[in-house]
Chain A
Amino acid sequence: MLHVNTTEWFDLEVIINGRHIRASIPTHLRLLDFLRENLRLTGAKEVCGEGECGACTVLLDGKAVNSCLILAAECHGATILTVEGLQSAAGMDDLQEAFIRDHAVQCGYCIPGMILSAEELLTHTPHPDREQIRHALAGNICRCTGYQKVVDAVENSAKKR
């Protein structure tokens, strides 16, 4: 939740989940709020609002970032992928399938962010070992699973790639 003395507006152009989007937004609008409130893409969650939990993770030009720490205006001209964009007409992404199959989901609040961090990892490290997976997911806090099945899911998904 950000506060300003006076609200100014910004004309934003951005590609989100393959869709070209133009919007006039307050300059102090966080990317997270733009996604959740303006676009109703509510997969990214706010848990801490301070960049410590990773629940708001999205891919910004292919990189995992905390959308709570980024102003929407900073994303002008960028390409963003949220969890909603992973699913195609052909069905779920293989990581999503793996998370279901390996029982990596409990309450589910961290899962969209967790999956996007894993996506980035598998993009640059297609066959990570468990230690690399644990390290790559360290910015995504989960309070339910103890991470073991999350790591299983990422490992098994990588094996299938």
Chain B
Amino acid sequence: MKIHQPYGLEDCLTLLSELPPDATVILAGGTDLMPRYEQGRILPNNLINIKHLTELQGITETENGIEIGGLTTIEALQHSDLIRQEYPALWRSTAQFAGVQIRNRATLAGNIANASPAGDTLPSLYLYHAKLKLVSRHASRTTRLEDFLVGPGQTTQEPGELIQSIILPKVSGSSCFYKLGLRDAMAISVVNYALRYSNAEDGELTDLEITAGAVAPTIVFLDALTTAILGGETNIAAWQALIEQDIAPIDDIRASADYRRKVLGRLISHHLQRLGVGSHE
């Protein structure tokens, strides 16, 4: 295995364009990648360590929101006042992300590229309508995150492409993230969700979006529920069925599909009730 450690984006993209895609792997934090090799998979002939690319680092405020360099670590997000104040759901998800050793290495782009249905940062990024800036040697493009992630471990990333940054538009209203794991730290989500809402001055809900993770092949928007609620559906008994329209959970080692369906409904209903939405009639 050859290890390539480019110090500039251009060098990196050149390398990416020249090396055979099926024998080349990009290494960022390595926290998802390396355990797979430990478990028996053979390392690629070419490994490109991109951690030295300064072009992919840092959190920048822009006119319309923020731009987060793909190599920004989860720990850096956790220590960012900007993220904590403006994107609290994302900030909360970084606080509950693995342990400090992983947070110090894992990158936001890596969490996206890994495309786990349970990826902790993903429901918040969906909620904030994140876009990705992808670059390759001769081109760059911007795509919506929800178009980039297509299934467990599957993305629309092209050979030779890198996630340069994650773009979050300005957000209105309040937002938060909730994760249910099987222990209080170092847990993979059984279900997770992010929720954003705005109120009018009289307190009436004017805007509501909810995304949920670990309940479908990718993150989902609970559109049936939020549309109904914004349309006046306040009967909590009706909500469960609305949630289930948008999810397709599976049984795995952590929980059954049935439990995931049930518990997501209970958590979200409870949450909305605390916001003053819904009644039992």
* A in complex with B: yes
A8-B31 Cα distance, complex, nearest whole Å:
23
B32 shortest CB reach to chain A, Å: 9
Whole-angstrom distance between the alpha carbons of A139 and B43 in the complex? 26
Is B3 touching A138 in the complex (CB atoms < 8 A)? Answer: no
Complex Cα–Cα for A74 and B34 (A): 13
**With A64-B104, A68-B38, A74-B51 given, can you name 11 additional A-B contacts, CB distance below 8 Å?**
A1-B38, A3-B37, A5-B42, A8-B2, A60-B104, A66-B101, A71-B49, A73-B3, A74-B5, A135-B185, A139-B101
Q: Which B positions have Cβ atoms within 8 angstroms of A? A: 1-3, 5, 27, 30-31, 34-35, 37-43, 45, 47, 49, 51, 75, 98-102, 104-105, 184-186
In whole angstroms, how far apart are the Cα atoms of A68 and B37 in the complex? 11
CB of A67, distance to nearest CB on chain B (Å): 9
CA distance A79 to B3 in the complex (A): 20
Query: Could you say which residues of chain A place their CB within 8 Å of the CB of B105?
Result: 65-66, 69-70
Q: Is the CB of A74 within 8 A of B27?
A: yes
| Residue from A10, A49, A139 within 8 A of B186 (CB atoms) | A139
Confirm or deny: A127 has a beta carbon within 8 angstroms of a beta carbon on chain B: no
Interfacial residues of chain A within 52-87, with CB under 8 A of chain B in the complex: 52, 54, 57, 60, 63-66, 68-71, 73-74, 76
Contact check, B101 vs A4: say whether CB atoms are below 8 A apart: no
Q: How far is the CA of A74 from the CA of B99 in the complex (A)?
A: 21
Across the interface, which residues of A come within 8 angstroms of B51, CB to CB? 74
Interface residues of A (CB under 8 A from B): 1-8, 10, 27-28, 49-52, 54, 57, 60, 63-66, 68-71, 73-74, 76, 117, 120-121, 135-136, 138-140
Q: List 29 A-B contacts (CB under 8 A).
A: A2-B38, A3-B37, A3-B40, A3-B42, A5-B1, A5-B42, A6-B1, A8-B1, A27-B2, A49-B35, A49-B38, A51-B31, A51-B101, A54-B101, A65-B104, A65-B105, A69-B105, A71-B3, A73-B3, A73-B5, A74-B49, A76-B5, A135-B185, A138-B100, A138-B185, A138-B186, A139-B98, A139-B102, A139-B186
Residue of A8, A54, A74, A136 most packed against chain B (CB within 10 A): A74
Task: Give the interface SS of chain B, mostly helix, strand, loop or mixed.
Answer: loop
Q: Which partner residue on chain B sits nearest A69 by CB separation? A: B34
Which partner residue on chain A sits nearest B43 by CB separation? A4
| Chain B hits for A121, CB < 8 A | 100
Taken together as a complex, chains A and B put the C-alpha atoms of A121 and B1 apart, in Å, by 36
Tell me how far the C-beta of B100 lies from the nearest C-beta in chain A, rounded to whole angstroms. 5
A51 partner residues in chain B, CB cutoff 8 A: 31, 34-35, 101-102
Q: State how many angstroms separate the Cβ of A6 from the closest Cβ of chain B.
A: 7
CB < 8 Å neighbour of A27 from B3, B40, B98 = B3
A27 engages B185 (CB within 8 Å) = no
The 9 closest A-B pairs by CB, nearest first: A139-B99, A138-B185, A69-B34, A50-B35, A63-B104, A27-B3, A4-B1, A66-B101, A139-B101
Contact A27 B39 (CB under 8 A): no
A69 to B99, CA, bound (A): 14
Residues of A within 8 A of B102 (CB): 51, 66, 139
Contact A140 B38 (CB under 8 A): no
Q: Decide: A8 and B3 in contact? CB cutoff 8 A.
A: yes
With A4-B42, A8-B3, A74-B27: A27-B47 Cβ-Cβ less than 8 Å: yes
Residues of B within 8 A of A64 (CB): 100-101, 104
